[in-house]
Structure 1
Amino acid sequence: MSLQSTQPEAGHTQQRDWFHRAVVYQVYPRSFADSNGDGIGDLPGIIGRLDYLKHLGVDVVWLSPVYRSPQDDNGYDISDYCDIDPIFGTLEDLDTLITGLHARGMKLVMDLVVNHTSDEHPWFTESRSSKDNPKRDWYWWRPARPGFEPGTPGAEPTNWESHFSGPAWAYDQTTGEYYLHLFSKKQPDLNWENPDVRSAVYAMMNWWLDRGVDGFRMDVINFISKDPALPDAPTPDGRPYGRGGDSYICGPRIHEFLQEMHREVFANRDQAPLTVGEMPGVTIDEAALFTDPARAELDMVFQFEHVTLDRDGSKWRPKKLRLTDLKTSLGRWQAGLAERGWNSLYWSNHDQPRIVSRFGDDGPYRETSAKMLAGILHLHRGTPYIYQGEELGMTNMPFATIAEHRDIEALNHYREATLELGLDPVEVLASMASMNRDNGRTPVQWNAGPNAGFTTGTPWMSVNHNALEINAEEQIARDDSVFNFYRRLIGLRHELPVIAHGDFTKLLPENECVYAFIRRHGDQELLVLGNFTPHPQPVDIGDPSWAQAQRIIGNYPHSRGLDLAPWELTALLRTRA
């Protein structure tokens, strides 16, 4: 059977739903490739690897923040939205990257962080200078809680907790008031109720699009609308602070703000930019509204339901994943966005541990399970995202001490747990091992040479010790590698309408070992089966005729029909009569 391409011809304007056929690759610049030997990845390093990304076959590169920043949160604390931090390069380097991607038929999506800025941004420098400064209400300022001395414990205006531990309010002695920071103290929240803030943000976004950027991934964008009353939050488990999420997750004006953003930034451009909203806590019903094309808000959202299933409340209390929970979660999102809206598909990113260590087997079945996980994800309905190194089956890092960590969230948790709560440091470190964000931030393993080819200097974070056996150079040359399996998956999405556009039907919902679903489009049907265990699994979907269908991809050399070998992935295609 020939596989007919559905990609638009060169020179033709792409359809608005071009991203249904696209695959996005996330670059975390600090850890991707270092060009100058300072141990930190940079823009010239990325430029030097563009042919690698082209060979992989991806359509879009999502670039984590490279703006000027004090680097308190690895670039998610921005001090100048219209400049590049010197550790990453220059604006000219960014222009060269854009040109290089476009010349290879790829697009560039920039990370957009506008819920908050750095406390070193000129806007905040002005805002904190006096209570009557014109930019005072560009941020959230409040006096101490009535009856409390400013700057003393419990005097914070509300009981909200920062996502990086401790209160979400910082006392500023200059004016004797507190400013809101849902993340680090060096990341004060912008006040989107102020129209001047919104206008300044839109002007900056238009500046980047005019420069050639093709869209934005918007960090915690559903936090920008807050209940202006900023009410106290419940405090479960006796903790002194509450998350306050009901007051800022998908707040009362969030749809109004995003529709305004679309009108002011994205509408009426010749090439419609790609818009992706990272949205912790978003519901399916909200996501359907955000991504409904008729509402002109966003193309897709990142939700986090499926990456919280292997934790017992806190991320620092991991538990074993139940496959039925994963199937239920992903199936709900497939169904919920089937009629309107669109799904983003991901296992990993800069905030998540390595997927083969998390849901797969990073021991003897590392490559087999990495391929299975890739196939299950990429053959769903939605736009798949690959996080750097995922296409190589990179694993979690065996950190031996807290000194090896770099992530502010992990460091704050360790300090709070050991110093403030008095927990055993060994036990705290062990509880952090599987889920901390540094697992996904170790340098990309390019070859078996010193520092895995990432840098000629001392890397900002240690390279995983398994780079001798897991690296790009070895995998590119080997046809049965994880890398080349990803290439085949990406090619199938480009070629087969049933993958890009087909519907989704979940099978075997109660099976704790096998993930199974069918995609249909026109007269094409695609059956996808994945074994999430190290043991052979018999499969009965009630239709034995599938055993005679064309096997279009699998992670074993030969098919065993519908029965699955350990960690096997098989996808079968047939044409309905």
Structure 2
Amino acid sequence: MDSNGDGIGDLRGILSKLDYLEWLGVDLLWLCPVFPSPNVDNGYDVSNYCDIGPEFGTLADFDLLLAELHRRGMRLMIDLVINHTSDRHPWFIESRSTRSSPRRNWYIWRDGRDGAPPNNWESIFLGPAWTRDDATGQYYLHLFSAHQPDLNWDNPEVRAALCSVACWWLARGVDGFRLDAITHLKKQPGLPDLPDPDGTGCVPSYEAHMNIPGVLDFVHEFARESFRRHDAIALGEANGVSSAQALEWVGTGRGPLDMILQFEHWTMWSSHPHDPLHVPTLRRILGKWQQALQGKGWNALYIENTELPRVISRWGDVGTPRNQSATALATMYFLMQGTPLIYQGQELGMANTTFHDLSVFNDVFSRNRIEQMRAAGQMDDEILAELALTSRDNARTPMPWSDAPQGGFTTGEPWLPLNPEYPAVNVASQQQDPGSVLAYYRKLIRLRRQEAPLIDGRYVEICKRNRRIYAYVREAADGSAIAVICNLSPHPASYRHREWILCHPDLLLSNLSVAPHDDTHSLRLRPFEARVYRVRRRTASD
């Protein structure tokens, strides 16, 4: 929400919407970076860790927001970007000033090879992961944009400085951190070339800097010297961590973090963006994460974030039954064991936006992809078709608060065009509609709080072979249990009761009306239908 008409959401804008968050049932607010930044990567290129970007407000505004959240019994988690800084950060400016700079070793500098970069690593944002600095004649490493030089975590001075940053915010009263790109802090020793069988000269380099042995030592130290000294939340973005490795990161009394954002269910879409949801694969991935941490750690549950296009455009149906697919997908993930995260607008069932021209794209990865595809000879309409499906800008359009001009988000020109659906898909209209996606999310939050099995109950997968239904039971130690049964396909699907008994009076939540006796012996689920029942195990007497 923009409070001053400059077209950019800000802290006072968020402050003005806390009544909405409280009404919805949110008890933790996670802010993407609000530090000073050139905004090459939407704030993930930080130029000052201990201040607020002027477009977002002031430290006084931040303190006011924090105090008001705490007054309401809510918490605030901020995004902390510690793998890299902006190239305009004073640390990097000093580092690049001369080879003898005291902060030279705060970043990763190397000589080139015959006019080429030090190795053949490709940046995550495409292109070489190295940029030559003319002033000193050396190259610096950047796993992301060239404007985001990587910090050298092997240097204890860097680690100490970043711990000080975290402690500064904790002393200010923040309740925790989402730690960006946490698995990339350690690079493969020696920064070797990677195999290049196709002779491209620049190859994807994840294997050289993602979850490399030694990275957990860095995270343990960071935890010990900062947030573990406080009652603080620590959520790590953990690309490359498998469910088998999860306990090392978040195991109770063992791991340095409280939760991690795993990437496995994300990659099942990004590898095949045109394919419909393959329910058995999703069930296998999410199920193994539930089993791996059951009673030993805690999951972070999500289906949308700032990196991903909208979920109903990926796995749902944006046609007539939009509410059905949005609420079915919500039910599926929200009632697993862990902390469910809702990305802004997800609770409205927002779909991907509409792009008419390549000049509209703001996301740095999308802009790099445009250059790459043009260089390969692809036409603009081909490029637009791909990015309309994959661009991160799909999820970053401003929040639609009403059907007023610019969705009530701003009185000025928004920094990114609103999704053109905002006159129909907005907060004000859905708050008045008991059948809306927003109303359903509110019910999910309330149900999760009211039912103990949905917090501590173990995850028991049911209906394991069905290719359309994702179903599981959350069973508490006292035997009380709740079944979550979701048809995640655009086709009808059937579920027959076997091990668990359910009946209509025990229906706790559904996204479509259910007639009495419609569930006596089996369920015939309509497309994208979801139901939640209180259940009990079948016994011999049954």
Range of TM-score over shorter length: over 0.9
Task: Decide whether the 8 Å contact of 2:459 with 2:472 is kept in 1.
Answer: yes
C-alpha displacement of 1:223: 0.6
For residue 447 of structure 1, the aligned residue among 402, 427, 450 is: 402
1:349-403 deviation line (CA, Å, top 9, x unaligned): 1100111111111110111111111111111111100000011111100211111
- Give the distance between the partners of 2:463 and 2:301, measured in 1 at CA: 21
Aligned to 2:294: 338
Aligned to 2:29: 61
Task: Decide whether the 8 Å contact of 1:259 with 1:295 is kept in 2.
Answer: no
For residue 438 of structure 1, the aligned residue among 371, 382, 393 is: 393
Alignment of 1:3-42 (within 5 A): 33-42=1-10
Task: Decide whether the 8 Å contact of 2:3 with 2:9 is kept in 1.
Answer: yes
Aligned to 1:571: 532
Call closer, same or farther: CA 1:338–1:545 in 2, change over 3 Å: closer
Secondary structure in 2 aligned to 1:197?
A: helix
Aligned to 1:273: 232
C-alpha displacement of 1:421: 1.0
1:405 aligns with 2:361: yes
Amino acid corresponding to residue 22 of structure 2 in structure 1: K
- Give the distance between the partners of 1:206 and 1:57, measured in 2 at CA: 29
Task: Decide whether the 8 Å contact of 1:234 with 1:244 is kept in 2.
Answer: no
Stretch deviating more after TM superposition (239-248 or 124-133): 239-248
C-alpha displacement of 1:406: 0.8
1:433-490 deviation line (CA, Å, top 9, x unaligned): 1121000001111101101101101111111111111110011112121111111111
Aligned to 2:38: 70
* Number of equivalenced pairs: 532
- Give the distance between the partners of 1:245 and 1:464, measured in 2 at CA: 33
- Give the distance between the partners of 2:24 and 2:50, measured in 1 at CA: 30
Call closer, same or farther: CA 1:553–1:168 in 2, change over 3 Å: same
Secondary structure in 2 aligned to 1:466?
A: coil
Secondary structure in 2 aligned to 1:68?
A: coil
Aligned to 1:124: 92
Question: How high is the sequence identity, in percent, across the aligned residues?
Answer: 44
- Give the distance between the partners of 2:503 and 2:198, measured in 1 at CA: 52
Amino acid corresponding to residue 344 of structure 2 in structure 1: Q
Alignment of 1:295-334 (within 5 A): 295-312=254-271, 318-334=274-290
For residue 264 of structure 1, the aligned residue among 209, 225, 228 is: 225
1:391-424 deviation line (CA, Å, top 9, x unaligned): 1111100211111211110111011111x21112
Call closer, same or farther: CA 1:492–1:238 in 2, change over 3 Å: farther
C-alpha displacement of 1:243: 2.3
- Give the distance between the partners of 2:381 and 2:198, measured in 1 at CA: 24
Alignment of 1:130-169 (within 5 A): 130-145=98-113, 148-149=114-115, 155-169=116-130
Call closer, same or farther: CA 1:140–1:541 in 2, change over 3 Å: farther
Task: Decide whether the 8 Å contact of 1:236 with 1:242 is kept in 2.
Answer: no
1:120-146 deviation line (CA, Å, top 9, x unaligned): 00000010011111100000000012x
Secondary structure in 2 aligned to 1:44?
A: helix
Provide runs of 4+ in structure 1 moved above 6 Å: none
Amino acid corresponding to residue 361 of structure 2 in structure 1: H
Task: Decide whether the 8 Å contact of 1:530 with 1:567 is kept in 2.
Answer: yes
TM-score, reference length from structure 1: 0.90
1:75-111 deviation line (CA, Å, top 9, x unaligned): 0000000011101111111001101111111100000
Structure 2, unpaired ranges of 5+? none
Aligned to 1:378: 334
Alignment of 1:283-302 (within 5 A): 283-302=242-261
Task: Decide whether the 8 Å contact of 1:282 with 1:303 is kept in 2.
Answer: yes
Task: Decide whether the 8 Å contact of 1:554 with 1:570 is kept in 2.
Answer: yes
Task: Decide whether the 8 Å contact of 1:232 with 1:244 is kept in 2.
Answer: no
Aligned to 2:508: 552
Call closer, same or farther: CA 1:544–1:285 in 2, change over 3 Å: closer
Secondary structure in 1 aligned to 2:534?
A: strand
Task: Decide whether the 8 Å contact of 1:442 with 1:463 is kept in 2.
Answer: yes
Aligned to 2:378: 423
C-alpha displacement of 1:318: 3.6
1:547-574 deviation line (CA, Å, top 9, x unaligned): 3561111101225312212211100013
Secondary structure in 1 aligned to 2:532?
A: strand
Aligned to 2:66: 98
Aligned to 2:321: 365
Structure 1, unpaired ranges of 5+? 1-32, 150-154
Alignment of 1:230-249 (within 5 A): 230-235=191-196, 238-249=199-210
- Give the distance between the partners of 1:525 and 1:237, measured in 2 at CA: 54
Secondary structure in 1 aligned to 2:216?
A: helix
Secondary structure in 1 aligned to 2:341?
A: strand
- Give the distance between the partners of 2:249 and 2:282, measured in 1 at CA: 23
Secondary structure in 1 aligned to 2:260?
A: strand
Secondary structure in 2 aligned to 1:293?
A: coil
Amino acid corresponding to residue 101 of structure 1 in structure 2: L
1:171-224 deviation line (CA, Å, top 9, x unaligned): 001110000000000000000000000100001100000101000000001111
C-alpha displacement of 1:535: 2.8
Aligned to 1:30: none
For residue 306 of structure 2, the aligned residue among 350, 357, 377 is: 350
Aligned to 1:210: 171
1:84 aligns with 2:39: no
Task: Decide whether the 8 Å contact of 1:40 with 1:459 is kept in 2.
Answer: yes
Amino acid corresponding to residue 498 of structure 1 in structure 2: P
Stretch deviating more after TM superposition (433-442 or 109-118): 433-442
Aligned to 1:457: 412
- Give the distance between the partners of 1:227 and 1:472, measured in 2 at CA: 47
Secondary structure in 2 aligned to 1:493?
A: helix
C-alpha displacement of 1:225: 1.4
- Give the distance between the partners of 2:485 and 2:208, measured in 1 at CA: 42
Secondary structure in 2 aligned to 1:380?
A: coil
Aligned to 1:475: 430
Higher relative contact order (CA 8 A, sep 6+): 1
Aligned to 1:111: 79
Aligned to 1:227: 188
- Give the distance between the partners of 2:73 and 2:63, measured in 1 at CA: 15
- Give the distance between the partners of 1:421 and 1:446, measured in 2 at CA: 41
Amino acid corresponding to residue 223 of structure 2 in structure 1: H
Secondary structure in 1 aligned to 2:226?
A: helix
Task: Decide whether the 8 Å contact of 2:463 with 2:495 is kept in 1.
Answer: no
Amino acid corresponding to residue 88 of structure 1 in structure 2: F
1:317-342 deviation line (CA, Å, top 9, x unaligned): 54332111111111111112224222
Aligned to 1:499: 454
Aligned to 2:131: 170
Call closer, same or farther: CA 1:428–1:268 in 2, change over 3 Å: closer
1:53-91 deviation line (CA, Å, top 9, x unaligned): 000101100000000001111100000000111011111
